[in-house]
Amino acid sequence: MTATLIWILVVLVLIGVYLSWTAGRLDRLHARIDAARAALDAQLLRRASVAQELATSGVLDPAASIVLYEAAHAARQSVEEQREVAESELSQALRAVFAEPQQVEAVKEAPGGEETALELAEAVRRVPMARRFHNDAVRAARALRRHRKVRWFRLAGHAPFPMAFEMDDEPPAALIERAA
């Protein structure tokens, strides 16, 4: 009888340790999502800021400046529910403005344009990477949260279900080619 109780106690302790380890892993994944989201937000803000700076610099033609400024301003001022759409529209505006390699050359020829073009190219190049890191962390947390043990024992606590950030982040080809 005593041996049976000891074995039951050992099994319960092992189950408790396993559940505790799983809850810790889930907590680390949620922390990773938060860090990745902060990095993504920083890259999106950097891209919008550089685009807005370029739009107000007078280097671009007036129509391109207006399109780029409005898209960058909308991306910076958007509420969370509209953020993906606003950022996608900024990506589309960047592709429209820098569709031709001549536009990139015109920016580079302006005083301080070389640095601005490189900074914008770096910003548009980093956004897809930051979004990929965020979405990978979300995917891993979702996979773990789908397990029965996580749902049955409520190991996720009150943390909201992680959502991926889906947007059009394709950079303008002419900008990336010329800046490299």
Tens-digit pLDDT profile for residues 1-25:
899 999 999 999 999 999 999 999 9
CA 144/CA 129 separation, integer angstroms? 23
Residue 5's Cβ-count burial label (10 Å; 0-12, 13-18, 19+) is exposed
Q: How far is CA 137 from the centre of its chain?
A: 11
**pTM value surpassing 0.85:** yes
Alpha-helical (H) ranges within the chain are 2-55, 62-77, 83-97, 101-109, 113-145, 148-152, 173-179
Angle at 39 between CA 129 and CA 119, to 5 degrees: 65
- Encode the chain (180 residues) as per-residue pLDDT tens digits: 899 999 999 999 999 999 999 999 999 999 999 999 999 999 999 999 999 999 999 889 999 999 999 999 999 999 999 999 999 999 999 999 998 888 889 888 989 888 999 999 999 999 999 999 999 999 999 999 999 999 999 998 888 999 999 999 999 988 887 555
